[in-house]
Amino acid sequence: MWVINNSLDVIDVIGKPSFLGSNISTWDFSTLYTSIPHDKLKIRIYELLERVFTTVNRIYIAVRYNSVFWTDNTKNKGYYFNCRKPSNAIDYLISNVFVCFGGKVFREVISIPMASSSQKPPLPKRV
């Protein structure tokens, strides 16, 4: 597994002689998303995030106006995320997926949507 800072890192890695003998695979996940239980999905994403933060050996991923990078300090202006913050955000997003169908709103309890509609759902009527 390798983690990159930007797309130029990909070009550098692919251009190295040691990469030429590498085994590259691609996978089609177009139907897989329809049967993923949320609890298993969240666990795998948490594990992946922990692995990435451990691999880069940094505490934060920093986001600034025109750059994103790994760092151990928060000295400069920007937004800093440790491993827990994106995990919490992903947990919230997966746990709060709602879809409109037939004029009703349903909460997703298994699977995740692959796209979203630009239409806003109708507001629920007050009772």
Rounded to whole angstroms, how far apart are CA atoms 110 and 57? Answer: 33
- Domain membership of residue 114 (yes or no) is no
Per-residue pLDDT reduced to its tens digit, 16-73: 777 666 666 655 555 556 677 888 888 988 998 999 899 889 999 999 888 888 899 8
- Domain membership of residue 40 (yes or no) is yes
Rounded to whole angstroms, how far apart are CA atoms 126 and 27? Answer: 46
- Domain membership of residue 74 (yes or no) is yes
- Domain membership of residue 61 (yes or no) is yes
- Domain membership of residue 53 (yes or no) is yes
Contacts of 80 (CB under 8 A, 6+ apart): 60, 61, 62, 63, 71, 74
Spatial CA neighbour of 31 closest among 91, 114, 102, 110 = 114
Residue 106: per-residue pLDDT: 84
Residue 3: per-residue pLDDT: 62
- Domain membership of residue 122 (yes or no) is no
- Domain membership of residue 7 (yes or no) is no
Rounded to whole angstroms, how far apart are CA atoms 113 and 102? Answer: 17
Mean pLDDT over the full length of the chain = 78
Q: Which domain holds residue 56?
A: 33-107
Rounded to whole angstroms, how far apart are CA atoms 23 and 81? Answer: 32
- Domain membership of residue 13 (yes or no) is no
**Domain count within the chain:** 1
pLDDT at 91 over 70: yes
Spatial CA neighbour of 34 closest among 114, 91, 105 = 114
